[in-house]
Amino acid sequence: MRLQGKVALITGAARGQGAAAARRYVAEGATVMIADVLDEPGKELADELGEAARYRHLDVSSESDWADAVAELLESFGRLDVLVNNAGILAFSAIEKTTLEEYERVVRVNQFGTFLGIRSAVRPMTEAGGGSIVNVSSVEGIGGMPFLIAYAASKFAIRGMTKVAAMELGERGIRVNSVHPGMIDTAMPRQAAGGAELDLALIGRKVALRRVGKAEEIADLVVFLGSDESSYCTGAEFVADGGATATHSLWFS
């Protein structure tokens, strides 16, 4: 029970990587607030996980939503030990065709949401004597990819914010790290492609492990970072991409 007694808030937890993390956290002994804007699947997941989980509607780009969510969590569970800033959206668009509104929509969720999450966790984690903040970035926070101008900008920002927060909050016992998944088999890339059927196996063949990742594999990493096993890790980048960032563009699979 690697997270026994810990209280965690996981954003974007109604499905995909967030839901996988919520399941693993409960399995490892944590109490979890599942936060999302997808109310129906979020409530279903909380019901599935039982008394150790509770669903809360949370628009991560809203200051008031964050204040209300953290207040409810503290009233219900008394403390906050782990925050997983997982909520995010993906949108493909060529630079010249990307409107300011489209760009801002991605940045507000991915970047603003992470900032508000970090800020909201400082006081309760300080009062608890420390904690762990896990910011989910991407391999697009390490290297660029065409048609992802807003997404890459937001994920690079998360990488930078992680390091600043780690420096500021370390003396309070609060660790802050970023996770950088590669292509993971979830609904997000298909939705970003307009619901088109994507051949993820083709993408998987381009990386060293010759496959795409699973949400459960990212959840395992998020468990490690939320647990005391990572007690000397802060301000760091944890990549889980099957080897996508191990090479450069001249490599042909």
Q: Is 22 domain-assigned?
A: yes
Query: Beta partners for 176?
Result: 133
Q: Is 34 domain-assigned?
A: yes
Give the structural domain span for 185: 7-246
Catalytic residue among 25, 103, 151, 232: 151
Pick the range with the lowest mean pLDDT from 78-82, 163-167, 205-209, 226-230. Answer: 205-209
Read off the pLDDT of residues 168-194 as tens digits, 9 standing for 90 and up. Answer: 999 999 999 999 999 998 877 656 556
Q: Cα(44)–Cα(41) distance, rounded to whole angstroms?
A: 5
CA distances, 30 to each of 8, 98, 152, 173, 187 (Å): 7, 41, 32, 19, 26
Going by their DSSP bridges, the two strands 174-181 and 131-136 should be labelled as parallel
pLDDT score of 220 more than 90: yes
Read off the pLDDT of residues 139-175 as tens digits, 9 standing for 90 and up. Answer: 999 999 999 999 999 999 999 999 999 999 999 999 9
Q: Is 18 domain-assigned?
A: yes
Pick the range with the lowest mean pLDDT from 77-81, 186-190, 245-249. Answer: 186-190
Q: What's the rounded mean pLDDT across residues 106-132?
A: 98
Q: What's the rounded mean pLDDT across residues 74-95?
A: 96
Read off the pLDDT of residues 42-74 as tens digits, 9 standing for 90 and up. Answer: 999 999 999 999 999 999 999 999 999 999 999
Q: What is the pTM of this model?
A: 0.94
Q: What's the rounded mean pLDDT across residues 107-134?
A: 98
Q: Is 2 domain-assigned?
A: no
pLDDT score of 239 more than 70: yes
pLDDT score of 197 more than 70: no
CATH of the domain at 208: 3.40.50.720
Mean pLDDT of the chain: 94
Q: Is 122 domain-assigned?
A: yes
Q: Is 1 domain-assigned?
A: no
Domain count, the chain: 1
Confidence of residue 201 (pLDDT cuts 50, 70, 90): confident
Residue 25 annotated among the catalytic residues of the structure: no
Q: Is 252 domain-assigned?
A: no
pLDDT score of 204 more than 90: no
Q: Is 131 domain-assigned?
A: yes
Read off the pLDDT of residues 7-35 as tens digits, 9 standing for 90 and up. Answer: 999 999 999 999 999 999 999 999 999 99
Scored b (16 or more CB within 10 A) or e, 48-80 reads: ebeeebbbbebbbbbeebbeebbeebbeebebb
Percent of the chain with pLDDT over 90: 88
